[in-house]
Structure 1
Amino acid sequence: MTRHAASSVCAAGFVAAALFIAHGEARAVQDCEINGVAVNPANGATTAGKSGLVRCRDRDTRELMREQQIQSGTFQGIVRDYDKGKLSKEYSVNAAGNMQGPAREFAPSGKVVREANYDDGHEIGLVRSFYPSGPLRRVTYFADAAGERAFAEFTERGQLSALRCGDKPVLAPTTDDAKLCGFGGGPSRVALFDGKGILRSRLSYLAGKRMRSEDFYDNGKPAAQDELAGNQRIERRFSSEGVKRREVVSLLTERGAIRMLDQEFSERGTLVRDQRWSAAGDPITDESFYLNGRPRSKAVYGMDGGSRRIEITEYYDNGQRAAVGRYVATDRFRQTPIGTHQRFDEKGALIAESVYDENGRITRERAWDANGKLERDEQVFEDGSRKEFTSQ
């Protein structure tokens, strides 16, 4: 039974139960009576002014299907639903038709599979559900109509499988969340398991706040880690072989989390990209690497007046510079080249040079041969035409 669908179950529930046809499917015909007198819950004239317990049975099998208390013609008080003659639900409704007070659901064996308390249709306090075999399945705490505040889930073996802590212990006596959620003065250590008894997560809480979590693959290798260290949050992701593939460090502020470091790693665990930001969230550097560990590219960010300037250096896999140039970040996705841009051969010798003005327009190009001899020096005009450069 969902949280809000449990309300308005008085006469309307009886009407639905007494219908012969619903959504194109035939339902069992019910005969209802109160104190031995036949009534039709869908017809208020037959129940007007009556008090007692209305009982409805299947006309063919005579199995009891529903019982509901009526007071002076108003369905109010205890309600019992039956499935094949066995009690399946028991609860009470108030004069408005909303669930009020204790409520229970039962398995065909008669074991309780759910216990809750309601206040005018809203779950309140501890709500417990059980496996049909008997063990506790889930315990949830509802403080008010706003929703659940804390919960714990268990496997049929009795092992903890999920946990959400509140700002104070609220799950006792069913579950010792004071210990699980670290309200005893030090951080807790919590292990979560799946239905097969395999370890899935390790958690640590302090005063209800999750400080660290670690998830595992089926083979027991770590899949993800998430931890708080002072005012920083550190997130790590791993391959199924246990190799770290990514690490993100964020600064936690009153306005939210600001990413400060984002690293990516290859399948072998070597660093392939390293991005860094300032505490204000502005980019500082963006580096990439070859699988041999040498640099592939490096972008260095800075401010010049009101513009963000970027200097980008590219490398060959032998470590020599391949190119260098400066850019202005005109928006988030566009970079305009400015100043002198140079390209080098694998031995580090200069082989080409391009000069851009502040609008990103190329104005001069030069090229050198393998021996360092100048081969070309051209002035470039707005229409793309060129001529040999001569000093003014």
Structure 2
Amino acid sequence: MAKTLEFAYETPQEVKVGDDETTFTLVCKNEGLPVDLTTAKLITVKIGSRDGYLREQPISIDSLSKLPTGQFKFNFDKDTLDNFPTGSYFLEVWVADDQGTSIYPSGNPLNFIVTANIENSSGATITTIAYDDFVKELNKAASTIVKGDKGDKGDKGDKGDKGDKGDTGATGIQGPKGDKGDKGDTGTTGPQGPQGATGPTGPKADKGDKGDTGTVDNAGLISAPAFHSLQTQVNNSAVGTNLITNSNFSSGLDHWKVNPGANSDCKAVVTTDSDGDTCIHITGTGDACGLYFGPVSFNQNQVTTASVLAKGIGTIWWIGLQSRPFSNFGTISTESYSKIGSIMQADSSSDTFCVYFNPVNNVVDIYIKFAKLELGSHATDWCPNSAEILTQSDYAKIKAAIVALGGSLS
């Protein structure tokens, strides 16, 4: 069996930028057994990313004296984390002794996550967006909508009838007759009569045709920072929700399939344990013995945590989404159930959930129950998928249907 590198049970698996106090406790194993590191001459932790090697830090041999066999503690120099952007990183441990150099793990490096703190190293505040800003951003995006052409103007209504003419003023007094004199001045014009009433309004013209419907700049809308902030809130709201169904095996192996393993002899049997819980008894002799479930539907490209309760003989091969870099946690005991699992970054092509084990001395003999896949980087208590929970609304509908048929339900 290959050499492995694991996080000790309940040790942190992520660290914030600038935090030089968080300590990872790591375990080196060979053939499933802890390795005595006190005989080493030099232990070096090498750090890398998807782009390749980044840097390394030595581990003091003297610091191992009070720790269980195979374990050592590791925390980052502050200047290391100040220069790391947030995201996923990988660890390898190189152990040099009189026999040569051993590299843990033999397979994929161990994954850990660097998260942002509330301020970055320059003291600048990390940007957030309030509801009012969100409305403002959407109004701005809506302003890009193209307005339709204005309809034609309606015809002018007919002119009203002309009002009646006012009365003529009184005639001036005639002078006494005498010699014909010069022509008298023209008398003043009498007062103007009142204005006639306004004629009725002409009929209303027909309404012009409606302009063409405008179009939405969809690319501009979905690229707005406010839209991305809202999308993040929706994604994070699902943290703690179990993304797989029949995760407690109450319906046997419904939705689950058996992976035959490297020796094609893996078997999975539904049974009941001493706690009264339904569980799956997995046996085999080769690597990758276990079960898989698919497809799993959720918003991809997010950090996920997979977990299951297990006891028996065997070691973790893969718990989580298939073919993704992962970091395992937990140790399998032969005496009692313990929570084991892994943290990994999902992608759009990963929709199969796997629970695979490798043998110890050619034997896999493990019981599992209460599987869970959830968003985020922390394993929470098991719960069923939301589609399997009977709500008060569901109960009310069932009750109404029973009453309608003449029955009753308290």
- Same fold by TM-score, threshold 0.5 exceeded? no
Structure with bigger strand share is: 1
Please tell me the TM-score bracket, short chain as reference: under 0.3
Structure ranking higher on relative contact order (CA contacts 8 Å, 6+ apart): 2
More helix by share: 2
